[in-house]
A = this chain, B = another copy of it.
């Protein structure tokens, strides 16, 4: 019932009458070992079912070949796509991932950071929780020179690369599109202004209004947690407004969909009465009726870029380290929820 004994380089060395140093070198394909010896060693390793012991190496090298990933939640289409991107790069490079969810809570984010720290991750990829104010739980990493990269929900932190899209521009395009469709009273549903993504989207929205000589009105800004349920409540708030707004630009698709459903139930026609635009290009945007105009978000690419950048850094490739921000391209996808609301009859 006990585990069978593991084969080690000592076993291989003994059988072949060579030293463990030679075996160790051969197994990592060190050119200093002769081809003939290498072949013998590889063959025997295969035959005896040798498996490499990462822990011995980690102990000796003081590295873990592990990357920590902290995300607000896993169960969104966007995040799981990002993770898939991270995973593909990390696996290729021989790194394993430790993934943890902060559940949008600053407290859990601190705990996650602690776990990552105690697991001695070689590097850290982070997308911040809604509620995180203070970044001091990352100081411990900085102190140990563990590189840290933020993606999507980023922050100003010394010597950190950020990978994200141009949220301001996406919001600007979206809002401008709504204006071009004839909308003048545009509600913006967003989340806590603690996070760059929401600050920037708000800024893009404002800029678009300004550039088209429309007034910015504080009452049109609705702040919540962007869940579908929050969209439902936002709809109630919107129905109280007089005059009714003629468009909604939401900071994600989820909340947009929740809001659309509730408004439809109240007899509002979309897009004729109120046009909609969301953000993320979540699959749900093609299910809701009418289909939701949105911003396509390159999640997989973002994961790949963040992981690649981190690993380059770990390998010392990133010598210049001038890259402080990596911006990925996003694009406006126009669907029925925002089309021709005022110019044409539908």
Which residues of A in the span 37-58 have a Cβ within 8 Å of any Cβ on B?
51-56, 58
The segment from A78-86, A183-191, A199-207, A240-248 found at the interface with B is A78-86
Copies in the complex: 2
Q: What is the CA–CA distance of A284 and B143 in the complex, to the nearest angstrom?
A: 45
Partner-B contacts on A (CB < 8 A): 1-4, 6, 51-56, 58-59, 62, 64, 73-77, 79-81, 83-84, 87, 91, 96-101, 115, 117-120, 143-145, 228, 257, 261, 283-284, 286-289
Closest approach, in angstroms, between the C-beta of A321 and any C-beta of chain B? 12
**Which among A97, A143, A228, A287 has the highest number of chain B CB atoms within 10 Å?**
A287
A74 touches B84 (CB 8 A): yes
Q: A56-B59, A59-B59 in contact; A117/B261 too (CB < 8 A)? A: no
A4 to B145 alpha-carbon distance, docked (Å) = 8
Chain B residues whose CB sits within 8 angstroms of the CB of A2 once the complex forms: 145
Q: Tell me, in angstroms, the Cα distance from A206 to B4 when the chains sit together.
A: 47
Query: Known: A62-B3, A96-B98, A101-B84. Is A91-B115 also a contact (CB below 8 A)?
Result: yes
CA–CA, A74 to B75, complex, Å? 8
Q: Residues of B contacting A117 with CB < 8 Å?
A: 51
